[in-house]
Structures are given as structure tokens and as C-alpha cells.
Structure 1
Amino acid sequence: MLPEGPAVLELRHAVRSWSVQRARAVRAATPIAVALSGGADSLALTAAAVAEFPEVVALVVDHGLQPGSEDVAATAARRALMLGCVDATVTTVHVGGDGGMEAAARRARYAALETARGDAAVLIAHTLDDQAETVLLGLARGSGPRSIAGMMPWDSPWGRPLLGVRRAVTRQACAELGFDPHEDPQNVSADFTRVRLRQEVLPLLEDVLGGGVAQALGRTATQLREDGDVLDALADDLLGGALAGDDLDVTALIAVPVALRRRVLRSWLLGAGATGLSDKQLRLIDDLVGDWRGQGGVAVGGGPPGARLVVGRRRGTLALELEWSLRNDS
């Protein structure tokens, strides 16, 4: 039995509330898996999950980025079994350098979790503090509501039951459980933007604005996701009526409000294989519908090597075409 301290009880309530709201998805995924790093957040989540679900497995990923990482991973796996997990596996990954170490480690971690999870849903220990940091990073990118809507509580197969729980609660829960969690040195390194947000920006905002900033950012993310879900559903309906084979009928979109039209365009482009769409690209493509002046096509990411994807307007439709580059091999 877990100690029933106030922090552990708050975590159990958060996990139970999350599972009730997503009962169908949770029932379809047995056992439940928890991504466990050995840090306070994931240890506390593992303890709460074991108390709330009949079968929990722990998935530990060793990134190999610091000396002794294999010992940290092994300790995390042992603690998972002590807490009552039915199994605990350790996967060692290689972290490349593309996009920076932080992004590369994230890609390697999620790929390993995807492989190891089987049919299970995977609980991730992101907290309200993580959500607030994510919203601030999205604000800095300036890519519209989608970029500041934060992380979703359920994005199959990933579940995040602790998005309403402060990081201090997970640390207190570990103290109640008698665990000394692992402290990843990268989590305090000012080399990472997210760490500076955590250590400098959010505390300053809390001080200047009188507290409650993390909660306010979390509420903002929730409201934007709720609004976005409605707009996305409307956009899907509009897309179905605007398709002309693989192309889009411009006349079906001219009178559509811009906020909906750009979502239609985004959905169409992603479905056709475009990647990495930016706000600037979407606005230029929207101009092919709403501000047509005979302008040329707009290049987007996603083409094969030696080619690029280009959106152009042809005879009243938008088409996504490949343009191959000319190479001089002489």
C-alpha cells in the first residue's frame, strides 16, 4: 500500500480523473505503460498509476548521454518493481545530433517507447509546469493558436494525466514515498531554452504578475485546444466538399472565413504529404485563394530528394505538384 500523504493523494486523483475522462481508450489498452526516467515526475506518476490501474509496466529509456546512465536506468526499473509494476524494461538508444541534442533525445525516446509499448497506452509525466513552458515556447514561435495550445492530455497512444499538477507536488510525493529521485543535470543546464524558462522567466512572471501564471497558461492552452477541436471539425467538413480529386476547388473556399480556410488548407496539405508547414507558408497559400493576383506557386516541405513540393493555382483549383531540380553532372 502507498503512503496516503497529501501529494500522493493529489497524484492519484489526477490519474483517476484522467482515466475516467478517457475510459474507452484506457480500457482498450491493457496493461498501462509509464515512461519512467527515474526523476521525480515519472517516479511519482508510476506510483499513482500502480495504485489506480490493475496492471502497469514501466518503460525506461537510457539515452546514454551521461556517465552512469545505465545505473540510473537500472535503479529506475528496480523502483518500478518495488512500487508494484508487473514488469520494467530498459531500452538503450543512440541519440544523434540532428536538430540539437534536446530534440534528438526526444525523437529517440519516443521511438523507443513506441517500439516497446506493444498495445499499451503510455503515460508521460508532463506536469503543469511543463505545460506552461511549452505555451511560452509556442508564443515565441508566433505560429498561431495551434503552437500555444500546449500538450494534449490524450494523444494516442500518449497520455498525460499530470498536466494540472505542479512539479512541486511530484517532488513532495517522492519524499512521502521515501524515494530520492534522480536529478538529470540537463534539467538545470542554462544551455537549454526550456531550462532558462523554468529557472528565470516563469519565476519572474510569477513575481511581476502576482502568482498563478503557470495555472493561467495551462487554462489558456486548454481553451485553445477546445476551440481548435471545433474549428478542425468544421474544417474537415469543408475539406470534404472542396476536394476535386486530389486538388482543391477554389470556388468552394473563397467565401470561407480565413481562420477556417487555413485549417482546410493545412489539413489538405498534410494529407498530401507536405511537412513542416509554417504560418508564413500557409498565409501565402491562402493568398492563392483569397487574394489571387496571378502569383506563382508556394514551395512546402516534404518532397523527395532532388524535388520540392509546390502549391499552385491552375484553372480554378489548387494543386500540389512536384518540381524536380535540374542537375548538371558534367
Structure 2
Amino acid sequence: MLQDALAGAGYPERVLVACSGGPDSLALAAVAAYFARRGHVDGRSISVGAVVVDHQLQPGSDAVAATAAAALRDLGLSPVDIRTVEVAATGIGPEAAARDARHTALEAAAEAANASVILLGHTLDDQAEQVLLGLARGSGTRSLAGMRPVRGRLLRPFLGLRRTDTLAICAAEGLEPWHDPSNADPAFARSRTRVEVLPLLEEKLGPGVAESLARTAAILQLDADYLEGVANDTFARLQEQSGSTVSLPEEALRALAPAVRFRVIARAAAAVGGQQPSYQRLLAAEALLRRRGSAGPVELPGGVSVYRLSLAQLLADGPSTPPGVPREGARCGKLVFRLQKPPQI
């Protein structure tokens, strides 16, 4: 499985394993160490290092990180880097804030080690939990598509393995993984999903629920990729941009299929520096297309305002016309996106 993932990544010469010391990432490190000892994959040269991120969220986290690093060195991985991070209170939730801090640290470690690939130990169980959480939150296709096997330099070669498989690998290699107590803490939605919801579904619906959820994610990844590709191409064709303002012709927007139209609106918000809008905010912005005359603004996350300028307004406006909203040659109204203030950090 790891061999196929590395082949798909073009046989990188330098690889980092992200390891918390838990069973999933430690099992991945053990498998990667096999190739490190051989020095090649399918005859292509490879060296494998590792990085341990200490989030400092629990007492004794530095000792846990040091123990994990020692185990990685014993496996023969080199170098082994410990990165200590501060998880800021950003208002996006502790799990998301920790993930952002961790990914920043991983990218920095990869740059320092000149590694083109970072291996992550997420399993099929993690993927199933991700899909369930997305369903519970009413998320869209991209969220329900779960974690990607490949995203940038991040590779997740264990998405086809169950958590029991990684425990078996650790046992076979004589490794003693650390079991994060937060994984069983009911204060976290993911922990409740792992400890209570998935086992209950397996009990009531029969075995295979986790595999079915992971299969759903794989199918939706294909759908999401296609729709996002269409939306990106459509946005590039329609958008008129100047400085911090983007405008889209309402006539062309109305003609789009809803699945594409909502994605184009979200893409426009991102283009001026905004964040991914919720479905409710996208509905509010899209509703401007059904208004008469100039309308809005609707506020989107990240300090973005979106409003409708009617054709009459576009033709009548003088020098005060917002940047990026041309008067000459206007044939229809426009949906205008403008960054009003920088996003809150």
C-alpha cells in the first residue's frame, strides 16, 4: 500500500513520516522504515525521516514527543525532528486550530529536510468518522468526500487499512504506541463518533458500515473534483477583477446549473480574500440574483461583501463606480464581491 502510494507520487527521494507516537502513525513509520533500510523503492533511491509535532495541549506532551522520537530513531529513521507549536484560540474550534498548527509545522519540517512528501497515518476508520461528522454538520460534497489520499505533498497511504490493522503492525514490530486520551474524551465530537456512534451503527446495521462510508468518500471525491474543475473554469471565464473587487455577470450566473453556480460564487469570495462561506451564506448571496434593482450587501466570512448592481445602475454610475465594475459595454447586472476588511486572525 505504501509502495503504491510512493510510486504514485513519482518515487520521491526524500520522505518524512508525521508521527504522534499513536498506533496509526507508528505503524506507518515502521512500514516506511522497511524501505529506509533497503534504501530504495522499486529500485528508486529513498531516504526516510520523521517529524513529531508537540501541540502542548496536554500535561507531559513533551515527554510523549520525546518517547515517539526515540522509537522513530530506533526504527532507523533519520533525521527525526520534534516541532513544538502553539495552538492559538482562533474561534474555529480546538481540533481545527490544532490541525492548522500541525500542518504548518509539518510543511516547515519538510522544507527544512528538503522532503517532497509527508506521510500521514490516517486510516479507513478516520475516513469513516470524517464522513459521519460531515453528514451531521450538513456539509457539502467536498466535506463528505473526506480526506484525500494525496493533497499537495501530503500522502495518506493507510486510508484502506482499519485501525485494528495498525495495532497488529505495532504488535508484530514490538512497538508500544501511545494512546491519546483525547481520542476517548466525549467533549470532542470526533471522539464521540469514534467511541459511541460508529460502534452503534455497526451493532444496529451490521458490519461494513465504516467501509461503506469510506467508499462513499472515494466516490464523492471524483464528483467533487469534476464539479470544482467545471466551476474553476467557469469562474475564470466570467470574472472581471480589479484590485480587491471581483464582479460576475448575473445573466451568465443565472444560466449555470445550481451546483456550479454556488461553487462559482464561493470561488469569487475566495478570489478577493474571503473564507469558504457556509451553505446559508451562499444561499443569501445567490438570492441577490432574484432581486430587482441594486441590492445587498450580503456579508460573507473573511470580511467580504457581495451585492447586486443592476444594469441601470451600471450604466448610470459615474466616477464613484466601484473598482472592477466596468460601465462601458455593460449588458446585464453584476454580482460584485469586495473585500471590506482583512479576515480576523
TM-score tier after normalising by the smaller chain length: 0.7 to 0.9
Which region of structure 1 is more displaced relative to structure 2, 223-232 or 292-301?
Answer: 292-301
Q: Could you list the runs of 5+ residues in structure 1 that have no partner in the other structure?
A: 1-13, 304-308, 325-330
Aligned counterpart, 2:338 = 321
* Separation in structure 2 between the aligned mates of residue 312 and residue 80 of structure 1, nearest angstrom: 54
What amino acid is aligned across from residue 306 of structure 2 in structure 1? V
* Separation in structure 2 between the aligned mates of residue 49 and residue 190 of structure 1, nearest angstrom: 33
Equivalent of 2:9, from 22, 47, 55?
A: 22
Aligned counterpart, 2:270 = 270
What amino acid is aligned across from residue 103 of structure 1 in structure 2? A
Q: In structure 2, do the counterparts of structure 1 residues 311 and 128 end up closer, same or farther at CA, with 3 Å as the change threshold? A: same
| Alpha carbons 1:60, 1:90 under 8 Å: kept | yes
Cα shift readout 1:123-154 (whole Å, capped 9, x = no counterpart) = 11111111111111111111221221101111
Aligned counterpart, 2:54 = 62
Q: In structure 2, do the counterparts of structure 1 residues 216 and 237 end up closer, same or farther at CA, with 3 Å as the change threshold? A: same
* Separation in structure 2 between the aligned mates of residue 275 and residue 31 of structure 1, nearest angstrom: 33
1:20 CA displacement: 2.7
What is the correspondence of 1:1-330 to structure 2 with a 5 Å cutoff?
Answer: 14-23=1-10, 26-27=11-12, 30-52=13-35, 54-99=46-91, 100-118=93-111, 119-120=114-115, 121-245=117-241, 246-289=246-289, 291-294=290-293, 295-303=295-303, 309-314=304-309, 315=311, 316-323=333-340
| Alpha carbons 1:141, 1:147 under 8 Å: kept | no
Aligned counterpart, 1:327 = none
Q: In structure 2, do the counterparts of structure 1 residues 185 and 319 end up closer, same or farther at CA, with 3 Å as the change threshold? A: same
What amino acid is aligned across from residue 51 of structure 2 in structure 1? L
Q: In structure 2, do the counterparts of structure 1 residues 56 and 322 end up closer, same or farther at CA, with 3 Å as the change threshold? A: closer
Which region of structure 1 is more displaced relative to structure 2, 203-212 or 249-258?
Answer: 249-258
Aligned counterpart, 1:11 = none
RMSD of aligned residue pairs (Cα, Å): 1.8
* Separation in structure 1 between the aligned mates of residue 214 and residue 72 of structure 2, nearest angstrom: 29
Which region of structure 1 is more displaced relative to structure 2, 200-209 or 65-74?
Answer: 65-74
What amino acid is aligned across from residue 65 of structure 1 in structure 2? L
1:322 CA displacement: 4.7
| Alpha carbons 1:15, 1:162 under 8 Å: kept | yes
Which region of structure 1 is more displaced relative to structure 2, 193-202 or 275-284?
Answer: 275-284
TM-score by length of 2: 0.82
Which region of structure 1 is more displaced relative to structure 2, 102-111 or 153-162?
Answer: 102-111
Which region of structure 1 is more displaced relative to structure 2, 44-53 or 57-66?
Answer: 44-53
* Separation in structure 1 between the aligned mates of residue 51 and residue 302 of structure 2, nearest angstrom: 32
What amino acid is aligned across from residue 214 of structure 2 in structure 1? G
* Separation in structure 2 between the aligned mates of residue 233 and residue 96 of structure 1, nearest angstrom: 33
Cα shift readout 1:142-180 (whole Å, capped 9, x = no counterpart) = 122122110111111221111111011000100000011
Aligned-partner SS, 1:132: helix
Q: In structure 2, do the counterparts of structure 1 residues 155 and 287 end up closer, same or farther at CA, with 3 Å as the change threshold? A: same
* Separation in structure 2 between the aligned mates of residue 64 and residue 178 of structure 1, nearest angstrom: 27
* Separation in structure 2 between the aligned mates of residue 78 and residue 70 of structure 1, nearest angstrom: 12
* Separation in structure 1 between the aligned mates of residue 123 and residue 150 of structure 2, nearest angstrom: 14
* Separation in structure 2 between the aligned mates of residue 140 and residue 117 of structure 1, nearest angstrom: 34
Q: Could you list the runs of 5+ residues in structure 2 that have no partner in the other structure?
A: 36-40, 312-332
* Separation in structure 1 between the aligned mates of residue 250 and residue 305 of structure 2, nearest angstrom: 16
- The share of aligned pairs that are identical, in percent, is 45
* Separation in structure 2 between the aligned mates of residue 300 and residue 94 of structure 1, nearest angstrom: 28
Aligned-partner SS, 2:299: strand
